[in-house]
Structure formats: C-alpha cells, structure tokens
Amino acid sequence: MDIRKVFIAGSGLMGSGIGQVCAQAGLGVTLYDVNQPALEKALKNIAWSVGKFIEKGQVPGTLGEVMGRVSTAIDLGPAAEADLIIEAVFEDLEVKHQLYRQLCPQVPATTLIASNTSAIPTTELAAAVEKPERFLGLHFFSPVPMMAAVEVIRGMVTSEEAFAAGEQFVRAIGKEPIMVKRDVAGFVINRINFMANVEAMRLVEAGVATVEDIDKGLRLASGRRMGIFETGDMVGLDITYGALTAAYNDTKNPAFAPPTILKRKIRAGQLGKKTGVGWYEYDAQGNRLGPAKI
C-alpha cells in the first residue's frame, strides 16, 4: 500500500510530532484540530523543530520545502484524500469513538485508519470503525522527532494487509517498527514502563526519594535521556493517568493502578509543562525552575 498523504486528527504534542516526521520524510500532511489557535501553535512548533534538524544536517531540503508539505484543517473534509488517517486525540475511548463515527462516512472504505493510543486496546477502538479490518495501532513515543521506535499493533480483526502497511509506513518515515502481534492494553513498551512509572510515584509518595533524585538516577544509571518525571511532565500527567487507567481497567492488575499522588496532582490542575506545574515547576517560556511541592 503506497502511503503519500497522511491526515492527523489532533495537533497536540503527539499529533504535531507525527506530522513533522511525516513531512520530513516527504509525505503530504494535513493536521486537523477543532481549535484554530492550537493549529497555529503546532505549525510554529513544527517549524522551530524542523529548523533545528536542518541546521544539524539531519533533515534534507529547506524549511520552506518541509513546511510546504503541511496543511491544516478545522473540518474533517480533507481526510477523504488521505491514504492513512492517524488519530492522536485525548486518551479517552468515547472521545476516540466519536471521532471515528464522524470520520468513517467521509473517507473511502479502503483508507487505512490508525490510533496513536498509548494503552487502549486496538480491538476496543476498532469497534466504532466501519470495516475494522483496516484499523490498527501506530503508537509513537514522545518526543516523536527524537524517538526511533513505533509500535505497530494488530487488533483481533486487523487484516494482514493493514498490519503490513503499518510496518511499511513506519519504515518509510525513518522509524523502526516494533510489531505487536496480540492486542493487550499498554502493548509492549508501556506494559514495561507503566510498572516503573507507578513504582517511581509510590517511592516519592512514601518519601523514599525525591522526584529530582529518581530522575537523575534513571538518567545516570539506566541510560535514559529523560527521567520518568521529566517525561511525565512533557507528555502530560492527565495523559499518563488515562493510559494507566486504561491498562488497569483492562487487566485489573494493581501494578497499573494510578497512585494517589498522581490523582491529587490532576485534581489540582497540575498537569505538567502545559500548565506550568507538574512534577516540576516551569516559567512562562517552559523552562524548568525546580521540583514542585509534593
């Protein structure tokens, strides 16, 4: 399956990152969002990031050439022209289902549809898609332009053709596919990461170690580029909570249950970098000031 045009529903951190790597790989991209200011912010962030890659000689062509492949939309009409639709909206089953129900009548039955969900089983998502055999998971990791892996997830009814097309697409945009052959909540990498994240939160909650020391230890002893809490602030604590909740609801495994400290931060509106406070505090420019009060 030849994928030349990609429609991305959601222009947040993940959606804009996916759009960037697709445009850098020479694909035509349409970023969709109901919020025009969000689209404008996404374009600005993409242009800044692409510019940095070009300066380092890591992306060919000019900034104008790459950005010329990216268009925006506040309606779903352009999805009809896409070869692949990637949904990257809020991590909520009903929100995603609602989007699919709006999309399916507007696109050909052969259009490949994928979700960037980090935890919700692909089979559950596909229940709201007409011809669900064309539906699969494409789970990118954050920050998308920097992370090489993408999980390609096969749901119970995903066709072999769609699964293979997902792998081909991931390779075409310069990423490495991790093929997930059975559909489980959290897939592969997050099934491993979730337990580490929950345990790190519980250690902070119990007063065993600070957020800063845990992040420092993981960078220095485990070779991570970013610590668990630094990554959590970048992704959003609400996203982390949604993903953990999806894994817990599917498995009933207490190892995935969101800790109290995470719930309290969400109730306080401390969602990470986007709100100025998460595990750390940030200034108006997004620069980290220090650890937040626990």
Q: Which residues are catalytic?
A: 118, 139, 151, 190
Reference 216, options 205, 201, 203, 226; nearest CA is 226
Contact 5, 83 (CB under 8 A): yes
**How many angstroms separate the CA atoms of 114 and 84, rounded?**
8
CA-to-CA separations, 218 to 103, 116, 193, 226, in angstroms, rounded: 41, 26, 12, 8
Helix axes 260-267, 189-205, angle to 10 degrees: 80
**How many angstroms separate the CA atoms of 214 and 229, rounded?**
8
Residue located via tokens 């050439």: 65
**How many angstroms separate the CA atoms of 19 and 16, rounded?**
5
Reference 60, options 113, 23, 12; nearest CA is 23
Residues forming a β-bridge with 194: none
Asked if residue 121 has a cis previous peptide bond (ω within 30° of 0), the answer is no
Residue 49: helix, strand or coil by DSSP?
helix
Number of H helices, E strands in the chain: 11, 10
Residues forming a β-bridge with 152: 138, 179
Residue located via tokens 């997902």: 166
**How many angstroms separate the CA atoms of 132 and 157, rounded?**
7
Contact 180, 189 (CB under 8 A): no
